């Protein structure tokens, strides 16, 4: 059976094509060719006394690199306007990723492998930090969404939060008959912010001293040797705490995966601006002390 | 008295529901337990938390009964007396109890003010589930980092430049513009490390020669600048483009720093590249038609044969001329010295050397080192010295007195002549005893064998013998003649024998540098064909082919890839070229190599 081209779609493009494999890795190929040509030039062109940013080849690579950095930064503006077609955002992102990676080659050869404690190497280091954070971003974008989806099990974020709220309400009611010491444990569990903790807790997913876990273990110490009569409010609290703990585990895993998906941008974007500042200082200083 | 309790609760849409209850008692309890007058379903409240008692128609007393305090108008207390007419606000756990009086009743409005749990509080979902608030915002940190970098690495360095403008020497401490340095300075300029403005005198102006000349006062040009420009080849398309761009950015050509690149790392300064030499010397003769030097590019492939300065006119006022070794030039040093004879492993010289082994350290035959002594720096050889290097065999002794040998004075023919005359004159013939005493004798007995002949005959012969001896010394077979070129006296009666001056050339190649010390791993014979030379006039200098067995161009696969600067200096002087100096420094005194600063040199 003949297939009919879908109107409005470019031939050969499928909707499932991510930005990485866009147009059969067109920009990967472009970046590889660019890097290869530059490496070849570095090897064949004999600049005296040695390759560095001050040779004509170094200046040429530096100009290419600086313009490329500025173009790569424009993605931040460009991504706010999604368009299809040849200059689609996907194509732009694909080019951003692969040309950004080719900067490693361009900038390293621009420097001629000369590094030191100066503004020039600072710009290089910041650029590498941006690239590495971008590589991390691509890695997590490629691997984590599956884990995120598996963990959610079709629950939305609001549903997760509502589930915890429901358990909290039940806990609150169930704990009313408890003596004060036990009630305080449950109260601490209720007072514990499921979104609390700093960036380290978010990224590691470890929450030592979790009040829910503490409350449960303390209550179990009391209930351990008692028979389950079915009327003991502690048993009900225990069961609720267990449910809350399971729900918290899912929420925390969700938060961890989301944090990993987000955190690289907190480096990628601000360091890009630091890089542009360092790049300006680098260029101005070179011409200042010319 | 009566309490009017108003329980206030809030619906999901924010509407408030008030449920009033009247309790006609003087005292009610507050707590989590259901039997309390005011029941607070709040885990932060103890089952019996407090008791409220009415004292009179205005005043009430609140006492904590469960051990935990409560708050009155923000203060945490165990007991409080309250004027209900004035009112007060109690806080127990997550509940607020507002006390007042209405129609003679004490009103207590009870309202839960805290959410049941942390999760139950209103959450901005987008914020709660993201990292916002956990990390500084992207916008804030982007601006922060950018401003920090611009301040530290642009504004402050420019400020330090501005504050030391027109200052001759900066104080020794950290200056912010050092962060602009692209690499450490070479050892020679190490003292300028913190003083950027020593060279970068003006902002946005490339380093000019005036900055170099400020310290390097005695540097001379390679050639007349006008001729230098003329000698330079026309650049290709790429070269023209580069020159154009350089001119656009105010980077003139031909500055010191074109060759002497800095910021290339600590240690000795990098040698200048051959390209800077060959940009003129490749095809130089086509552009500078009156040049006396030949074109050269790569030592291995395109370098002319050596043209040593050879003495073409010997004598007291010698003349020198550069002649290519290809023309097999000879040089008359004034000596008669066949190297072949002296270096032969057989024959008289070798035999003599063997007999003198113990005294002079000879081997089974003479070797080069037995006569040639290197100079202190090892670069060249001292002139051969007759007394030291030849006289052990070529003795000038003529008389032994009391065990001491009297020798003719070398290098002073007049003294030789005088000494010989003195020798034959100084002691007259012994006076025959027959001629002594007072005895009277007949004169006339002068013939050979007769009485007077023994004395007067001998006395008469003395001067004539001296003349013969002098002639013998200066003629074939004589001590002087064997080695020197002799000019005989203008007339037979004259004593004016002259020895032509000997010239031993110490350095043949003045435009290039050769150090014997650097070639110690080779034998003398591997370059100098001395064992085959049977004439003193043979010039035993090796040609370029010999050098090329080891040395090639800088990019060649030769044993020793060699750039121009290995043998040649741009700012040529009598000393070794810079690279050769570095080589020696590197090999010999690496550990103690502490170059003086330019200022220190100036002081010396």
Instruction: Encode pLDDT of B197-239 as tens digits.
Output: 999 988 999 999 889 988 988 887 888 888 888 888 777 788 8
At residue B257 the predicted structure's pLDDT band, cuts being 50, 70 and 90, is: confident
Residues of B in contact with A195 (CB under 8 A): 123, 128-129
Rg of chain A (C-alpha set): 28
Report yes or no: A241 at the B interface, CB cutoff 8 Å.
no
- Segment B236-251, tens digit of pLDDT: 788 888 888 888 888 8
Show the domain range for A192: 157-262
Return the HEC string of B262-331.
CCCCCCCCCCCCHHHHHHHHCCHHHHCCCCCCCCCCCCCCCCCCCCCEEEEECCCCCEEEECCHHHCCEC
Average pLDDT, chain A: 89
Enter the tokens of residue A226: 């008692």
CB–CB of B300/B548 below 8 Å?
Answer: yes
Residue B592: predicted pLDDT: 33
**Residue B94 distance to chain A (closest CA, Å):** 11
Say if the Cβ atoms of A258 and B129 lie within 8 Å.
yes
Contact across the interface for A290 and B66, Cβ inside 8 Å: no
Contact list, A122 vs chain B (CB under 8 Å): 149, 153, 179
Strand B498-499 and strand B486-487: pairing? antiparallel
pLDDT at B60: 93
| B141 in Cβ contact with B148 (< 8 Å) | no
Is B173's pLDDT higher than 70?
Answer: yes
Q: For the residues B401-425, what does the mean pLDDT come to?
A: 86
The whole-angstrom separation of Cα B255 and Cα A68 is: 33
Range A78-83 average pLDDT:
78
Q: Domains in chain A: how many in total?
A: 2
The top-scoring range by mean pLDDT among A116-130, B289-303, B312-326 is A116-130
The chain B residue lying nearest A282, using CA atoms, is B180
In chain A, what residues touch B250 (CB-CB under 8 Å)?
290
In the predicted model, is pLDDT for residue B596 greater than 50? no
Same domain, A41 and A103: yes
Which of the listed ranges B268-272, B293-297, B459-463 does the model predict with the highest average pLDDT?
B293-297
Q: Is A133 helix (H, G, I), strand (E, B) or coil?
A: helix
Beta-sheet strands, E only, within B103-158:
105-112
Q: Which of B555, B56, B120, B469 is nearest to B297 (CA)?
A: B555
Contacts of A283 in chain B (CB under 8 A): none
What does the DSSP 8-state code read for residue B246?
H
How do residues A246-275 score in pLDDT, each as one tens digit? 999 999 999 999 999 999 999 999 999 999
Could you give the percent of chain A with pLDDT greater than 70? 93
Query: CB-based contacts of B89: which residues, under 8 Å, 6+ apart?
Result: B72, B73, B96, B97, B98, B99
Q: Kindly state whether residues A121 and A78 are assigned to the same domain.
A: yes
Same domain (yes/no): A146, A33: yes
* Lowest mean pLDDT across A40-54, A150-164, B125-139, B570-584: B570-584
**What pLDDT was estimated at residue B600?**
35
> In chain B, what are the domain boundaries?
3-112, 151-272+580-604
Residue A139 touches partner B, C-beta closer than 8 Å: no
- For residue B7, the cross-strand partners are B19, B110
In a domain, A7, yes or no: no
Select from A270, A272, A287 the residue whose CB has the most chain B CBs within 10 Å, as the one to mutate to test that interface: A270
Top residue of A170, A277, A282, A286 to mutate, by most chain B CBs within 10 Å, is A277
**pLDDT the model gives residue A187:** 92
Residues B27-49, mean pLDDT to the nearest whole number: 92
ipTM: 0.87
The percent of residues above 90 in pLDDT, for chain B, comes to 35
Cβ neighbours for B405, distance < 8 A, ≥ 6 positions apart: B395, B397, B399
Are A129 and A37 within one domain?
Answer: yes
Preferred mutation among A54, A59, A180 to probe B, highest tally of B CBs within 10 A: A180
A253 and A283 fall within a common domain: no
| Domain match, A277 and A141 both | yes
Shortest CA distance from A170: residue in chain B: B116
Strands B38-39 and B560-561: unpaired
When scoring B140, B147, B153, B202 by the number of chain A Cβ atoms within 10 A, the one with the most, hence best to mutate, is B153
**Cα gap B264→B496, rounded to integer Å:** 67
Q: Is the pLDDT of residue B587 over 90?
A: no
Residue A62 and residue A109 in one domain: yes
Mean pLDDT of A218-243: 87
pLDDT at A270: 96
B67-79: average pLDDT: 92
Asked, for residue A18, whether it belongs to a domain, the answer is: no
Residue B591 has a pLDDT of 32
Element (H, E) at B227: helix B225-231
Please check whether residue A17 lies inside any domain of the structure: no
Higher pLDDT, residue A261 or A11: A261
Spell out the residues 6+ positions from residue B48 whose beta carbon is closer than 8 angstroms to its own.
B29, B31, B33, B36, B65, B66
Q: How confident is the model at residue B401 (pLDDT cuts 50, 70, 90)?
A: confident
Q: How many alpha carbons fall within 13 Å on the CB side of residue A179?
A: 3
Q: Note whether A133 contacts B: Cβ–Cβ < 8 A.
A: no
Q: Which of B139-143, B412-416, B588-592 holds the top average pLDDT?
A: B139-143
Predicted local distance difference test score (pLDDT) of residue A118: 93
Residue A2: what pLDDT?
46
**Residues A227, A123 share a domain:** no
- Number of other CB atoms surrounding residue B34 within 10 Å: 10
Chain B CB contacts of A46 below 8 Å: 275
Q: What's the pLDDT score for residue A237?
A: 92
Strand order in the sheet with B79-83: B38-39, B27-31, B50-54, B59-64, B79-83
pLDDT of residue B565: 84
* Mean pLDDT for the stretch of residues B323-340: 91
Predicted local distance difference test score (pLDDT) of residue B594: 34
Write the residue in B44, B179, B251 that is nearest to A187 by C-beta. Answer: B44
Q: Are residues A140 and A48 in the same domain?
A: yes
Is residue A100 one of the residues assigned to a domain? yes
| Residue A15 in this model has a pLDDT that exceeds 60 | no
Residues A148-190: pLDDT tens digits?
Answer: 999 988 899 999 999 999 999 999 999 998 998 999 999 999 9
**A with B: how many residue pairs have Cβ under 8 Å apart?**
187
Asked whether the predicted pLDDT for residue B493 surpasses 80, the reply is no
Q: pLDDT-derived band of residue A78, with 50, 70 and 90 as boundaries?
A: confident
Please name the member of A157, A179, A199 whose beta carbon is closest to the beta carbon of B131: A199
> Per mean pLDDT, which range of A184-198, A250-264, B448-462 is the poorest?
B448-462
Pair A44, A116 in one domain:
yes
A168 has a chain B CB within 8 A of its CB: yes
Q: Look at A161 and B119 and tell me if their CB atoms are within 8 Å.
A: yes
Contact A50 B149 (CB under 8 A): no
Query: How far apart, in whole angstroms, are the C-alpha atoms of residue A230 and residue A235?
Result: 7
Burial-class residue A199 by CB neighbours within 10 Å (0-12, 13-18, 19+). Answer: middle
- The confidence score (pLDDT) of residue A86 equals 61
Q: Which of B32, B125, B196 lies at the smallest CB-CB distance from A289?
A: B196
Indicate if A272 and A145 belong to the same structural domain: yes
B256: pLDDT confidence band, cut at 50, 70 and 90?
A: confident
Residues A268 and A148 in one domain: yes
Q: What pLDDT, on a 0 to 100 scale, did the predictor assign at position A269?
A: 95
pLDDT at A199: 92
- Residue A96 in contact with residue A138, Cβ under 8 Å? no
pLDDT over threshold 80, residue A141: yes
B549: Cβ contacts below 8 Å, ≥ 6 apart: none
Closest Cα in chain B to A123: B149
For residue A170, what are the contacts with CB-CB under 8 A and spacing of at least 6? Answer: A240
Q: Is the pLDDT of residue A213 over 80?
A: yes
Stretch (H or E) spanning B38 = strand B38-39
Does the domain at B3-112 match CATH 2.60.200.20? Answer given as yes
**Interface touch A187/B272, C-beta < 8 Å:** no
More confident residue, B259 or B40: B40
- Say what the pTM is: 0.70
**Does residue A4 lie within any of the structural domains?**
no
Percentage of residues in chain A having pLDDT higher than 90: 67
């Amino acid at each position: 059976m003949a297939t009919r081209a879908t109107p409005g779609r470019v031939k050969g493009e499928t909707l499932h094509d991510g930005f990485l494999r866009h147009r059969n890795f067109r920009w990967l190929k472009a970046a590889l060719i660019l890097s290869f040509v530059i490496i070849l030039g570095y090897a064949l062109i004999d600049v005296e006394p040695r390759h560095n940013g001050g040779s004509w080849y170094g200046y040429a690579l530096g100009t290419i690199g600086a313009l490329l950095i500025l173009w790569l930064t424009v993605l931040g503006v460009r991504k706010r306007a999604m368009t299809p077609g040849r200059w689609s955002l996907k194509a732009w992102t694909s080019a951003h990723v692969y040309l950004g990676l080719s900067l490693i080659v361009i900038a390293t050869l621009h420097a001629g492998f000369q590094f030191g404690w100066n503004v020039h190497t600072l710009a290089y280091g910041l650029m590498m930090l941006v690239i590495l954070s971008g590589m991390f971003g691509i890695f997590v974008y490629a691997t984590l969404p599956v884990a995120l989806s598996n963990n959610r099990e079709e629950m939305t974020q609001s549903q997760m939060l509502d589930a915890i709220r429901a358990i909290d309400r039940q806990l609150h009611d169930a704990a009313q008959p408890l003596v004060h010491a036990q009630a305080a444990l449950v109260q601490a569990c209720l007072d514990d912010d499921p979104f609390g903790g700093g960036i380290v807790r978010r990224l590691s997913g470890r929450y030592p001293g979790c009040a829910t876990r503490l409350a449960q273990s303390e209550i179990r110490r009391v209930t351990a040797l008692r028979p389950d009569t079915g009327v003991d409010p502690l048993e009900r609290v225990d069961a609720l705490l267990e449910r809350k703990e399971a729900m918290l585990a899912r929420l925390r895993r969700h938060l961890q995966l989301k944090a990993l998906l987000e955190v690289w941008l907190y480096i990628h974007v601000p360091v890009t601006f630091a890089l542009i500042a360092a790049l300006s200082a680098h260029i101005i200083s070179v011409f200042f002390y010319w | 008295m009566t309490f009017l309790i108003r329980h206030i609760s809030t619906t999901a849409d924010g509407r408030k529901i008030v449920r009033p209850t009247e309790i006609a008692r003087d005292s009610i309890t507050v707590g989590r337990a259901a039997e309390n007058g005011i029941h607070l379903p709040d885990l932060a409240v103890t089952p019996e938390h407090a008791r409220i008692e009415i004292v009179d128609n205005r005043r009430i007393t609140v006492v904590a009964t469960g051990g935990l305090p409560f708050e009155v108008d923000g203060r945490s207390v165990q007991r409080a007396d309250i004027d209900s007419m004035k009112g007060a606000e109690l806080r127990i756990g997550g509940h607020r109890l507002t006390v007042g009086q209405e129609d003679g009743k004490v009103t207590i409005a009870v309202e839960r003010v805290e959410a049941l749990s942390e999760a139950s509080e209103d959450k901005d979902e987008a914020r709660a589930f993201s990292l916002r608030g956990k990390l500084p915002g992207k916008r804030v940190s982007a601006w922060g980092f950018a401003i920090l970098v611009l301040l530290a690495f642009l504004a402050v360095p420019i400020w330090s430049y501005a504050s030391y403008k027109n200052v001759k020497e900066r104080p020794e401490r950290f200056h912010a513009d050092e962060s602009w340095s692209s690499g450490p300075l070479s050892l020679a300029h190490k003292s300028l490390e913190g003083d950027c403005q020593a060279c970068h005198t003006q902002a946005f102006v490339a380093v000019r020669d005036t900055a170099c000349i400020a310290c390097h006062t005695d540097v001379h040009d390679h050639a007349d600048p006008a001729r230098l420009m003329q000698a330079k080849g026309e650049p290709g398309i790429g070269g023209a483009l580069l020159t154009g761009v350089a001119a656009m950015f105010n980077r003139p050509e031909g500055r010191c720093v074109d060759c002497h690149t800095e910021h290339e790392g600590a240690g000795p300064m990098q040698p200048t590249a051959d390209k800077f030499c060959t940009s003129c010397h490749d095809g130089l003769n086509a552009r500078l038609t009156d040049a006396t030097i030949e074109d050269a590019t790569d030592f291995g492939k395109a370098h002319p044969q050596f043209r040593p300065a050879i003495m073409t006119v010997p004598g007291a006022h010698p003349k020198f001329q550069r002649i290519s070794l290809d023309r097999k030039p000879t040089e008359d040093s004034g000596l008669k010295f066949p190297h072949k004879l002296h270096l032969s492993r057989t024959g008289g010289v070798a035999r003599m050397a063997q007999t003198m082994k113990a005294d002079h350290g000879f081997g089974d035959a003479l070797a080069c080192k037995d006569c040639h002594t290197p100079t202190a720096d090892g670069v060249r050889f001292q002139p051969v010295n007759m007394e030291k290097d030849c006289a052990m065999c070529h003795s000038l002794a003529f008389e032994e007195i009391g065990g001491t040998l009297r020798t003719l004075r070398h290098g002073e023919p007049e003294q030789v002549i005088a000494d010989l005359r003195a020798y034959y004159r100084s002691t007259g013939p012994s006076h025959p005893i027959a001629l002594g005493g007072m005895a009277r004798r007949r004169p006339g007995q002068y013939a050979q064998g007769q009485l007077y002949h023994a004395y007067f005959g001998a006395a008469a012969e003395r001067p004539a013998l001296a003349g013969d001896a002098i002639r013998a010394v200066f003629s074939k077979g004589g001590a002087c003649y064997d080695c020197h070129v002799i000019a005989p006296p203008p007339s037979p009666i004259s004593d004016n024998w002259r020895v032509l001056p000997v010239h031993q050339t110490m350095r043949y190649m003045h435009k290039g540098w050769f150090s014997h010390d650097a070639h110690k791993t080779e034998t003398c014979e591997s370059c100098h064909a001395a064992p085959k030379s049977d004439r003193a006039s043979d010039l035993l200098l090796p040609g370029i082919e010999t050098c090329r067995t080891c040395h090639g161009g800088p990019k060649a696969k030769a044993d020793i890839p060699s750039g121009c600067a290995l043998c040649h200096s741009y700012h040529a002087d009598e000393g070794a070229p810079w690279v050769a100096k570095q080589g020696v420094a590197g090999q010999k005194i690496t550990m103690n190599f502490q170059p003086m600063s330019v200022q220190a040199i100036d002081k010396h």
